[in-house]
Structure 1
Amino acid sequence: MSPAEKEAVQRFRADVVEPSMTKLVIVDFWAEWCGPCKALGPVLDKVAAEYADKGVVLAKVDTDKDQFIAAQFQIRSIPTVYAMFQGQLVADLTPARTEAQLKQMLDQLLRQLPIEGEAQSQEAELEPLIAMGEQVLAEGDAARALSIFDQLAEMAPDHHAVVSGRIRALVAAGQVDAAEAAIAALPEEVAKLPDIVRAQSALALARSAPAVDDLGPLEAAVTARPDDLQARYDLANARMAAGQRDAAADGFLSIVATERDWNDGAARQQLLKLFEVVGLEDPWVSAQRRRLSAILFG
């Protein structure tokens, strides 16, 4: 190699290879005369800045000035964009020409690779705390769960699981208007995320099944009129609002077992909403789904 080529290799090692040992490096092969390169450049700059705390860095290689490096990567057209981790190419990002496409590809890589970034460190710190808040919420202690999620919101106000947990804790605590305001304040794209949809389901359920101070009259009505499906439905809704999910599920399932299409399938619909709120991956939901399937198809 010539002295210039050795210098190019050393520069590439310092700018790309060494950072890639712990970070995901986006390598942008470009040239000053390349129009598409100039169009893509600001997109790469913006996304790399947004993903910096996730361990993503951007390195640019001018194919005119660093022809030796471009030749080593067999660059035949530009822009060409690669992702490198631990000194190895892990993805061709060239097809991603929009911000959304690039983010989608980066998100997939970050899920697969052990990247070291501030966001990953924060996620590892938050995960057990979020789990604790969810457990407290599942146990029915809405006030304590809300306190936990309020503290987590101070640490990570934009974390989707934290936002969802806090909204659901507000609902469980009877602060339905505050929960609705919190959802309304979210950007449209965030409101479509699964965690937030779960919180929206909790709010919708609270609106359709408001809390009842005394379950006694509803229980008495069911005892007096066991064939009255509306009475059973009202009691199941009230139990659901009170956090008695086992009893609520029993009530809805008993209605489905008696008359599956009663009131246009209202009992089944409420049960499915309850599943969404608890979490479709929760073991409790899996058990109740099996009970429902046995009634519908057994």
Structure 2
Amino acid sequence: MQHLRELAQAARDKEGRFQVVGVDLAAAPGVMQALTPVLQQTFGQVTALPVVIGLVGGQPMPFYLGVQPMSQVDQLLDQFLQAAVTNGVTGRVELADADAAGGEADEDAEAELPPLHQAAYDAVERGDWTAAQQAYEQALREDAGDEQARLGLAQVQLLERTSRMDLTAVRQAAADRPTDVQAQLDAADLDVVGGHVEDAFVRLVDLVRATTGEDRDRVRTHLLGLFDVVGSSDPRVGKARSALMSALF
């Protein structure tokens, strides 16, 4: 696709500050299912292809639907890269040379995933959340320090939960019932999937302050799980951990 090649060229122009990956959504329904909540939150109904999103620290940032002029895309990319810097993501990827046929990235240059990670990734593409969780759990049994497996497991569990949610109903329930634990947990999940990580953390820290006993422990445990989704190195997690400790003690 011409637009994909233009995005790949933009990545080269930005000297590897971001990486472009193309996914055939028709052949990977699990990916589309996982992204549906955040796409609905931004675009409503998806009526055009391609669907272009960015990922910063594993969190999706919807860009646009359909082919857009590169002059407008460049502005979005600048905003995306600024958001990445704000969130402490400043690395660069090593870009493969363009091939003679038309600038496609050399697929052989991509690092192979460990077998269990690949199995989990393939399961996500199929929409098989159970198989993906089992693969990551097995990876953690074999190596308890596998941080990528821990992060992947938490993300798959979140995607599995939110894939069954009605976005409008969840938001309305959270607004109508501010002390309803399940309503707020569901809304926090959608906050994270939608890229509103700090909103999710503030929502649950406030709920910890407003609850006691088993309800408080349930909220605390759920919040710790969302920390795993975002990743311990994310500065928003460190800030929220401090707020949680203050709320608890």
What TM bracket, shorter-length normalisation?
Answer: 0.3 to 0.5
Which is higher, the Rg of structure 1 or of structure 2?
Answer: 1
Larger relative contact order (Cα-Cα within 8 Å, sequence gap ≥ 6): 2
TM-score, L = length of structure 1 = 0.41
